[in-house]
Amino acid sequence: MTESNPAAGPVNPNNESFLPQSTVLIVDDNPQNVELLQAFLESLPVKLVTAADGVEALKMVAEHAPDLILLDIMMPRMSGFQVCRRIKNDPKTRDIQVLMVTALNELGDIEQATEAGTDDFVSKPVNKFELLTRVKSLLRVRHLKGELERALTYLNEIEQDEEAR
């Protein structure tokens, strides 16, 4: 019988132990939408931060380094498309998962969101179960990407040590 090494990381793909270390940024210019999304997400053990528009969202990204952004599209000062493009074009923030939350159902809007770099989208009115499922899935992707990057860095260090010998 072999013992599992708890330090080796989760074996269960549905393990949600990464959630308490996760930060979710909710961006919407409508306070009722922000409150609704916060209420839907309160059952998850994540840190929630909010922004009322795209300009404030970029400040919050710099301050809080969120793992996931729930991003409204139609906002004053800077649209969700513009915010997403800025986040995805910056090497420091491009790995942040972006879930566009929108009332727009036009195919052109979905194409524009995809071109801006969104990772997923959900339509208003938001279904709580669908939102929670997508949020957990995107946070899992973000967490697994981080684990993979750490493993690759570690393997590169071992390779360099071997070459130096």
Q: How far apart are CA 165 and CA 161, in angstroms?
A: 7
Q: Are 94 and 87 in contact (CB under 8 A)?
A: yes
Q: Which domain holds residue 150?
A: 17-164
Task: Characterize the bridge pairing of strands 120-123 and 97-102.
Answer: parallel
pTM: 0.84
pLDDT, residue 124, reads 87
Domain contains 48: yes
Q: How many Å from the N-terminal Cα to the C-terminal Cα in the chain? A: 36
Domain contains 30: yes
Residues of the chain with pLDDT below 70 are 1-14, 104, 106
Domain contains 126: yes
Q: Is residue 52 helix, strand or coil? A: coil
Q: How far apart are CA 61 and CA 141, in angstroms?
A: 19
pLDDT, residue 165, reads 78
Question: What's the CATH code of the domain at 152?
Answer: 3.40.50.2300
